[in-house]
Amino acid sequence: MTSDRPLGEFGSIERYLAPLAGKGGTALDLRDDAAVFSPPEGRDLVFTKDAMVAGVHFLPDDPPALVARKLARVNLSDLAAMGAEPLGYLLALALPRGAEESWMAGFAEGLAAEQETFGWQLWGGDTVATPGPMTATLTAIGAVPRGHALRRGGARPGDLIYVSGAIGDAALGLLVRKGELPGIAEIHARHLEERFLLPTPRVALGPRLLGIATAAMDVSDGLAADLAHIARASHVAAVLDLDALPLSDAARAAVKGDPRLHDRIFGGDDYELLFTASPARRDDLARISRDLNLPLTCIGEIETGSGVRARDGRPLPGGYRHF
C-alpha cells in the first residue's frame, strides 16, 4: 500500500491519494496491507489493467489531470465493453525523482474528477521512484450480473454490427495535435483534439447492452482491427458498410478537405463500443440511443465465413495488424 512506502521527497503523495479512497471504505483508508471488498451477491467482477508511459502514451508536459483522466477512461472503456459498472481501481505510479508536487496534485485532481463522473473509488496501489519516465498503471474493477458479461465471441450470422458515437476523431485529433491538419476550421480542430486527449468511455451504454448485444468490445486498435477480433472470436465474417460509418462534423470536414484522410477513420483510440445484435433488437437499441442521447449506428452485418471486408469490395484501410 502507498502508505507503507513513503518515498522521501514523495512522502506527501499519500496526502493527495488518501482523499480519493474515501473514509472507512474498501481501501481501509490506504492504511492496511490491502483493500477488502465484499462483492455484491449475484454479480461477477470484471478486471482490467492498462499502463501509460510518459513519452509513449502521453507527453511529459501534458497536463497531469488530463493524463490521469485518460488513464482512468481507457480502463473504464474496457469495463463498459464487458457491460460492467465501475466499482474501484488500484493505481501504481512510478515517478521520476525530479517530479514536482504540483504534478501529483494535478494528477490527483484528474482522478477525483473521474471518480465524481463515473462513481468509483481508489482502492489502493503503490508509488515508487523511477530513473525513467513517469509510468502509471491502473487496475479497474467493475461488476456485472453473474454470467452475463459481454464477450467478443457471441456474434452470429444475421446479426447487425453497431458502433456508438462517432469514429475517427481521435486519430484525426492526433494529426491536429501534431500540426498536420492545418487547413481545418478551428472549431473542428478543437473537437478532434479533445476527442484525442480525453476519450469518453461509454460507461452508461455498456450495462444497457446486457442481454441485447451478442458480442461487444471497445474500439482501441481501430474499427476494422477490432471488428476482426470479434469475427475471429465468434468464428464469423464481418461485412462493413463503409458509407454508414458515423463521422462527426469535424471528421467529415477533415475528410472532405483531404480524401486521403479517410483511412485515418480506422486509426483507433476511439473508445466507442462496437457490438453486434440481432435485427430483432433494433427497437431496443433505438430506445437506448434516445435514453442516452448517443447515436448507435448500424454499420454492417455478420455473415458466415471469416475476416472483415467492405460490402462494396473497397479495400479496408490500415491501422490494424490482425488479418
Range 75-94, binding a second copy (CB under 8 A): 78-79, 81-82, 84, 88, 90-94
Taking the mean position of all CA atoms in its chain, how far away is CA 53? 16
Cα distance between residue 100 and residue 129, in whole Å: 13
Residues 139-158 interacting with a second copy (rule: CB under 8 A) = 139-142, 144, 146-147, 149, 151-153
**Of the residues 25, 45, 121, 200, which one makes contact with a second copy according to CB under 8 A:** 45
Contacts of 195 (CB under 8 A, 6+ apart): 169, 170, 173, 248
Shortest distance (Å) from residue 316 CB to a second copy = 18
CB of 190 to a second copy, least distance (A): 28
Query: Tell me, what DSSP letter sits at residue 40?
Result: P
Between residue 49 and residue 78, which ones bind a second copy under the rule CB under 8 A?
49-53, 55-57, 78
Go through 150-176 and write b for each residue having 16 or more CB atoms within 10 A of its CB, e for each that does not: bbbebbeeebbbbbbbbbbbbbbbbbb
Shortest Å, Cβ 134 to a second copy: 9
What three-state secondary structure class fits 217? strand
**x/- letters, 201..240, toward a second copy (CB under 8 A):** ----------------xx-xx-------x---x-------
Q: Is 240 helix (H, G, I), strand (E, B) or coil?
A: strand
How far apart are the C-alpha atoms of 293 and 284, rounded to whole Å? 14
Minimum gap (Å) between residue 68 Cβ and a second copy: 16
Select 25 or 190, whichever has its Cβ closest to a second copy.
25
Nearer to a second copy, 127 or 248 (CB): 127
d(CA 300, CA 150): 19
Q: Exactly one of 9, 12, 15, 36 binds a second copy (CB under 8 A); which one?
A: 36
Nearest to 215 by CA among 145, 276, 127, 144: 276
Instruction: Name the minimum Å distance from CB 6 to a second copy.
Output: 7
Site for a second copy in 233-272 (CB under 8 A): 233
CA-to-CA dists, residue 172 to 143, 250, 294, angstroms: 33, 9, 21
| Among positions 9, 12, 47, 101, the unique one binding a second copy when judged by CB under 8 A | 47
- Told to check if 298 binds a second copy by CB under 8 A, we report no
Distance CA 257, CA 267 (A): 18
